[in-house]
Structure 1
Amino acid sequence: MNRIKASELSAALFLILTGILCFISGRSFQTMHRPEPVFPSAGLTATHRLSDYFPPLKNTHGDTEVYIFRGTEEGGNLLVLGGTHPNEPAGLVSSVLLIENIRGKRGNVFIVPRANASGFTHSDPQEGNPQRFAVPTPSGPRLFRLGSRLTNPVDQWPDPAIYINPARQKLSGNEVRNLNRCYPGRADGFLTEKMAFGIMELIRRERIDIGIDLHESAPEYPVINAIVFHENSSELAALALLELQAEGFDIRLEASPVNLHGLSHREWGDHAGIKAILLETPNASHGRLKGKPSSSLIVDGKDKFYAKASRLGWLFVPYGEEGIPLALRVARHLAALKALLGGLAELEPEKAVEVEGMPPPAEVQKKGLGAFLHPPQKSG
């Protein structure tokens, strides 16, 4: 009898402990639904939502902010997308850096820092990634979420066995939740397709001239440190390449495959006729050869396993013991953006876009990201 009572007590304690752990982890996971604050510069002229361009997104986790900086002079219209894949942090941080620093001078700039807002509300299963990473600033760490490549399955489920996207490309089923496989979108489709459709509506309604989609990829991935361009942007990409190489950035050009559909650098050009560019930087935390996932791996970019893989010749970019820090990856994005805008002004002066206050890439590398980010919000 005593043995039975002891077993019942052990079972009860185990259930209570399990409940406590579930409660704590559940509360922690729920915080992923709280967007990190963004502190726009005084140059901000308007903030819209993607649902302003496509109302069916309203009150869904696919809706997201669009920050608008209008210049005082006539010019072109630029769209910058970060967070297409929320597990590629340089795109988000580059977008936030722009939002918190720039002022429009000529033309208009539209920035969507969290293109797949749903993807920021969860993390990739079985990867052990941190929910957030901390960027040091003079006033303390600034926290950003590290999400998933895909839309949250809570928002869109189940995945089909085979996904045929709006451009009729056959893909594996889970790509139905990959925003960068869902262009040009469907007005009556899955949530991720509606996000893509909303972005296309933004492009059409705001008469965007050039769209730049900010990404990262693993150092072992062949399309890395690259400008991926639609064929209508080949001359622009070549001019940007020359400028970046002159500034000491190792960069390559990759033409958008004409038979690979659903991606921004293909469908923006095909369906909206804009100059479509995708930028890739190397991110060890995104790869398969990394050690323990951590905030420091994301921010500092140091990983002994990638350093060894580089020595063995397994990577497509040099990767030393110093790593490839987030500040360098963001600086690369900013330098490429600057070079592309310079090339656009040379090729099509009437579509030129000029901004003031963009953090100089060299200064971002020297001083760090925190020197150009708003101080973290204090609680209480």
Structure 2
Amino acid sequence: MKIEVKHNRICAGAFLVCMALIIVYLSGIFLSQRVEEQLYPSAGLSETKMLSDYYPDLKGSPVDTEVYIFRGKKPGASMLVLGNTHPTEPSAIVSTTIVLENAMVEEGTLYVIPRVNKSAMSHTDPQDATPLGIHIDTPNGQRYFRVGSRMTNPVHQWPDPDIYYHNAGQLLTGKETRNVDRTYPGRTDGNLTEKICYGIVELIKAEKIDMTIDTHEGPPEYPTIDVMIAHQNAMELAGTTALNLSLEDVEIRVDASPVNLHGFSHRELGDHTDTMAVLVETVNPVMGRLAGKKSEELMLEGRDKFYQYASENSDRLYTEYTAEGKPLNLRVARHVETIMQLAASYNEMDTGKRLEITGVPTYAEIMENGMGQYLGGK
């Protein structure tokens, strides 16, 4: 009997030690999601501000974020590029970083917010089984980019209402109250996510931003992929850009922002400021419901046999999905080229202002050399 009791104590002790080790390991992963990765702005950086400089209520909050400013030698037009609106969308994360780390502005001003929703970067979507991040090889070593959630962390904003009542009277499911791209133009008496949006609106007004580009990804079965969604005041800009992109072998569709679909950047920023608002989407199989294992490999390589089968045997996808898949390198190349072509297309318009950006790699260069070649580091 004593032997059996002693054996049970040993088993219980071993179990507790194993549980303690697991807790320590998982705690390390949990805490790592709150450590910001290093960014390496190009030598063209003029100034770094915080979003709270434009809306002081954000100061000291978990969503206050950096605004990187590149001023040219000559005054001119201005562009704001938004990344990490949804930290589940890695091509938006990486493409915005490439612009930040390579841009040199000769004329006009470029503003880059690579971490629009910092809170959403600090956790993941439950039960989606997405990888915590991706690793990209660069000439200066391996870079790590976290993959977060579409929504503000509930630790920072809770509880969700049953129904989210948008400013314009539109009704959405309650969790969308934590989605930056459903809560524009924001409000001062709103929740934390709405205050992010309000801060961006205040920035656009204060700096008189001419163009605002919001970068995103969507699943292959989603109708708005490989598309620019443009406010009516940006349709000429988007149309010219689509034509110029086709000359670079980048096919992209232009959709008009629905007038009665509220909360989105492409609608509200154009309605509430003078900026030309454009949202740009690529395709990401990890975000889809047909995908196999949602691994880092799938996020990077984009090859998925289930989407390939669906593409070959039905017309339910909004993109052709071949054995080559939709690799991150391709998606990043599309985003970076689209951002640059939007700037170039603005220069073709009769506005009296120009935005000249150099140093950013082209679609062809990223496809040939790989995105890692254009990511900085030490």
Bin the TM-score by the shorter chain. Answer: over 0.9
**What is the aligned partner in structure 1 of residue 244 from structure 2?**
243
Residue 329 (structure 2) aligned to one of 298, 317, 327: 327
Deviation per residue, 1:189-214 (Å, 9 max, x gap): 11111111111111111111110000
**What is the aligned partner in structure 2 of residue 346 from structure 1?**
348
Residue 366 (structure 1) aligned to one of 363, 368, 376: 368
Q: Which amino acid aligns with 1:307?
A: Q
Residue 316 (structure 1) aligned to one of 290, 315, 318: 318
Q: Which amino acid aligns with 1:52?
A: D
Q: In 1, distance between residues paired with 2:350 and 2:14?
A: 71
Report the CA distance shift for 1:11/1:165 in structure 2 as closer, same or farther (over 3 A): farther
Offset, 1:61: 1.4
> What is the DSSP-based 3-state SS (H/G/I as helix, E as strand, rest coil) of the residue aligned with 1:35?
coil
Identify unmatched segments of 5+ residues in structure 2. Answer: none
**What is the aligned partner in structure 2 of residue 27 from structure 1?**
28
> What is the DSSP-based 3-state SS (H/G/I as helix, E as strand, rest coil) of the residue aligned with 1:351?
coil
**What is the aligned partner in structure 2 of residue 73 from structure 1?**
74
Deviation per residue, 1:224-254 (Å, 9 max, x gap): 1001000111111111111112221121111
Offset, 1:262: 0.6
**What is the aligned partner in structure 1 of residue 86 from structure 2?**
85
Aligned pairs (5 A) from 1:200-349: 200-313=201-314, 314-349=316-351
Q: Which amino acid aligns with 1:155?
A: H
Residue 355 (1) aligns with residue 357 (2): yes
**What is the aligned partner in structure 2 of residue 62 from structure 1?**
63
Residue 16 (1) aligns with residue 17 (2): yes
**What is the aligned partner in structure 2 of residue 136 from structure 1?**
137
Residue 37 (1) aligns with residue 38 (2): yes
Offset, 1:188: 2.2
Identical columns (%): 47
- Any conservation in 2 of the 1:167–1:183 contact (CA below 8 Å)? no
Q: In 2, distance between residues paired with 1:355 and 1:244?
A: 17
Q: Which amino acid aligns with 1:148?
A: S
> What is the DSSP-based 3-state SS (H/G/I as helix, E as strand, rest coil) of the residue aligned with 1:233?
helix
Deviation per residue, 1:45-81 (Å, 9 max, x gap): 0011111111121222111111100011121111000
Offset, 1:133: 0.2
Which consecutive segments of 4 or more residues in structure 1 shift more than 3 A?
1-13
Count of matched residue pairs: 376
Q: In 1, distance between residues paired with 2:140 and 2:276?
A: 39
- Any conservation in 2 of the 1:215–1:279 contact (CA below 8 Å)? yes
> What is the DSSP-based 3-state SS (H/G/I as helix, E as strand, rest coil) of the residue aligned with 1:44?
coil
- Any conservation in 1 of the 2:80–2:212 contact (CA below 8 Å)? yes
Structure 1 window deviating more from structure 2 (198-207 vs 329-338): it is: 329-338
Q: In 2, distance between residues paired with 1:233 and 1:308?
A: 37
Report the CA distance shift for 1:33/1:348 in structure 2 as closer, same or farther (over 3 A): farther
- Any conservation in 1 of the 2:140–2:376 contact (CA below 8 Å)? no
Offset, 1:19: 2.8
Q: Give TM-score, length-normalised by structure 2.
A: 0.96
- Any conservation in 1 of the 2:185–2:268 contact (CA below 8 Å)? yes
- Any conservation in 2 of the 1:209–1:351 contact (CA below 8 Å)? no
> What is the DSSP-based 3-state SS (H/G/I as helix, E as strand, rest coil) of the residue aligned with 2:86?
coil
Residue 158 (1) aligns with residue 159 (2): yes
Residue 115 (1) aligns with residue 116 (2): yes
Offset, 1:124: 1.1
**What is the aligned partner in structure 1 of residue 47 from structure 2?**
46
Q: Which amino acid aligns with 2:85?
A: T
Q: CA RMSD in A?
A: 1.4
